[in-house]
Amino acid sequence: MKGMVYLVGAGPGDYRLITMKGVACLRQADVVVYDRLADERILQWAPAAAERIYVGKASSHHTMKQEDISALLVEKAQEGKTVVRLKGGDPFVFGRGGEEGMLLAQHGLPFEVVPGVTSAIAVPAYAGIPVTHRAVATSFAVVTGHEDPTKGASNMRWDKLATGVDTLVFLMGIANLPKITQKLMENGRGADTPAAVIRWGTKPEQRVLVTTVGQASADVEKAGLKPPAIFIVGDVVKLRPELRWFDRLSQRPLFGRRVLVTRARSQASQLTEDLERLGAEVVEVPAIRLAAPSDGYAAIDAAIASLMDYQWLVFTSANGVAAFFERLAAAGRDARALGYAQVAAIGTATAAKLREYGIRADVVPAEFRAEGVVAALKGKLPPHARVLLPRAEVAREALPEGLRALGATVDVAPVYRTEAAEADGAALAAEVAAGAYDAVTFTSSSTVKNLVHILGSSAPLAQVKTACIGPVTAKTAQSLGITPSAVAETYTIAGLTEAVAALFKEPPAEA
């Protein structure tokens, strides 16, 4: 049985620029063969069981030779597997996708090409430099800055190229920049022609150096810019001050900042997206992972069997909601089983999660913590009310104690527990202590405790700004020797994002 190979363009760096068809191919992959320039978060769309093979190539350092990569695709396809060859940018724009496709064709193996957003256009766009612009540039050329060294003589027609096109975009050309600029000037391109070098374009660590053809080599050496970067030449570079958007601090105040997100990986996406929208480079190092309660689900399953006995259900987190409804489904029941019970939710995120299951919370206290629920339910509980509290295995006792003080009978049923996630603690501690991060976020007490456990102590966090989602989390941080730099005024992901943004009023050193 023959397999299938998809030659997929992963886009220029920002993982969200992959096409919908590229994602669809990844979702059915048995094997993913991927490059250095493809943001590894793209791999999240591949099945967990898919084999992942890294074949990245950097300047003067190849993990695997191109002919071996092509042979690998043939081998995996001949095994009957669905293979995604994930390539930075577009497979047919200096991506050597043609070579891979030709070898597959020679072996009678089916393949498809899924075009990607090429860095030749996207990277200048993220720098605020259009490759064409009315009355400025009506033509552009994409040129390799690194010709095949096995060809012998160059077939670059510098006499035509230098002045025959308005905008020139050189890919992979930083190492050869002195030669490129020399050839351009020798063939008529003025030394004062505007130019720009863009490193890690479309990514939060993007850096743009505006220069001229004559000064480019010296400026790049002085700035210490290394690959991956593109070199763009032409009057369109002068449009950057007006069209700059991606790294404009007035609309993306966290650009150039690196933020460590410590939520469980399954929860981190919304916080990551919110921070990235403000320009931050986000590194997800989950401090916790969710697991079944230590003693299993006996308590919650027993409570579900007698749901009609409860007048109130109180949910303290979105995790608790999801875990509760998983057990409800396991019992062959759905939201109708709640009967006439009323529902309280701590926080808007918890209330939103309930709505996914068709439940609208009767009470969402203004203060998103246990004390707020107790205050909100005062006067609302019937005499001798019975309350079910599905929650984390380890949590503060303020809520059940407060409800009991109101005369209620409270059944606490653990539906999940948090435990420290696996991470290279020594390496992470060294990075944090060395100032690799501008801020660390904490979304719960468990993320604080488990990050400190991973790091070995709170000492590495002494020099980094920390932001907590609320006062309970902040109190836990303080108990472990961490002085929070910011505490969200609204105890939500949106509130935490605002708190992080408020920490940085001055631009980073390189912005």
Together in a domain, 434 and 333: no
Number of structural domains (the chain) is: 4
pLDDT, one tens digit per residue, over 405-442 is 999 999 999 999 877 666 778 888 999 989 999 999 99
Active site residue 183: no
CB 354 within 8 A of CB 321: yes
Residue 164 inside a domain? The answer is: yes
CB 32 within 8 A of CB 86: yes
The conformation of residue 16, written as its DSSP 8-state character, comes to G
Active site residue 57: yes
Return the CATH number at 161: 3.30.950.10
Catalytic residue among 57, 183, 380, 475: 57
**Sign, CA torsion 32/202/279/463:** positive
| Cα–Cα distance, 76 to 202 (Å, whole number) | 32
Structure confidence at residue 213 as a pLDDT band (50, 70, 90): very high
Three-class DSSP category at 197: strand
Burial class (CB in 10 A: 0-12, 13-18, 19+), 107: middle
Pick from 83, 102, 117: which residue ends a domain? Answer: 117
Residue 507 inside a domain? The answer is: no
Return the CATH number at 341: 3.40.50.10090
Together in a domain, 396 and 457: no
Percent of the chain at pLDDT exceeding 70: 93
Domain that holds residue 130: 121-243
The DSSP string of 231-274 is EEESGGGGGHHHH--TT-TTT-TTTT-EEEE-S-TTTHHHHHHH
Residue 152 inside a domain? The answer is: yes
pLDDT, one tens digit per residue, over 127-160 is 999 999 999 999 999 999 876 555 556 778 999 9
Structure confidence at residue 25 as a pLDDT band (50, 70, 90): very high
Pick from 117, 140, 169: which residue ends a domain? Answer: 117
The conformation of residue 462, written as its DSSP 8-state character, comes to G
| Cα–Cα distance, 85 to 483 (Å, whole number) | 47
Residue 184 inside a domain? The answer is: yes
Together in a domain, 191 and 237: yes
pLDDT, one tens digit per residue, over 95-127 is 899 999 999 999 999 999 999 999 999 999 999
Residue 252 inside a domain? The answer is: no
Active site residue 35: yes
pLDDT, one tens digit per residue, over 217-244 is 999 999 999 988 999 999 999 999 999 9
CB 507 within 8 A of CB 266: no
Catalytic residue among 172, 247, 449, 465: 172
pLDDT, one tens digit per residue, over 336-371 is 999 889 999 998 889 999 999 999 999 998 877 788
Q: Per the omega criterion (within 30 degrees of 0), is the bond before 241 cis?
A: no
Together in a domain, 106 and 128: no
Residue 57 parent element (H or E): strand 57-58
Together in a domain, 409 and 443: no
Catalytic residue among 35, 166, 247, 411: 35
Together in a domain, 130 and 239: yes
Q: Which of residues 197 and 291 earns the better pLDDT score? A: 197
Which residue do the tokens 């552009």 mark? Answer: 140
pLDDT, one tens digit per residue, over 162-190 is 999 999 999 988 989 999 999 999 999 99
Lowest average pLDDT, out of 100-104, 253-257, 483-487, goes to 253-257
In one letter, which amino acid is 170? F
Structure confidence at residue 37 as a pLDDT band (50, 70, 90): low
